[in-house]
A and B are shown apart, each in its own frame.
Chain A
């Protein structure tokens, strides 16, 4: 099974500053079709998770362009250009290359 490892697990950020979350997979998520099979989700406090990014870098409908996914192979990054108060919550990466799909442990973003 593919293991997803996120860092950091806790991320205090000042509003207006950038933030970066790393996700490493135990095997490459880059398929020979050129797609990276990794998604990013945000779970805001008391809510269900919501899709932010799929296929490594495609923002979901309605997601602000301050969110950017990048990476290839086994190393991926979610960057938030300028953090806003509404961005607090737990961010998860998830691989969808092969079943069983698997999530990272989550990164809790909080406002300083």
Chain B
């Protein structure tokens, strides 16, 4: 079955970067995009960005644009989200989620049908 495996957690200092992996399995990796969503403690969901594993095409929120880098490794069917220049406001659970429709350009209707369990990123001095 489709699975998205995420690591437990990371602790980083302000100004550092964090790279969060999302190991996928159970489907054709290059056919479906991956979305990244985060949730600060006690808060709601925030859409961060999307990547197409087929060609590396990405789209990200203006809020994190410039600090967010999404990449893929087809050989290991893993997607990575790297966020730089961390501040305490970046403390959150970071979820990866598989998009339910195939496509290589972020279009309309890209709902998320399978989610990882999330990686907790704590930014603290």
Contacts and interface: CB of A to CB of B under 8 A. Distances in A.
Contact of A96 (B62, B109, B115): B109
A99 to B, nearest CB: 5
Interface stretch (B10-18, B20-28, B39-47): B39-47
A39 B37 CA distance: 15
Nearest to A106: B44
Contacts of B115: 48-50
A97 B44 contact: no
Interface in B76-120: 95, 97, 100, 106, 108-113, 115-118
Contacts, number: 66
Contacts of B109: 35, 37, 54-55, 96
A67 interface: no
A64 interface: no
> Chain B interface residue count: which class?
20 to 34
Contacts of B46: 103
A49 B110 CA distance: 15
Nearest to B35: A101
Nearest to B47: A101
Contact of B47 (A48, A60, A100, A106): A100
A102 B44 CA distance: 11
A31 B111 contact: no
B44 A101 contact: no
A41 B97 CA distance: 13
B45 A103 contact: yes
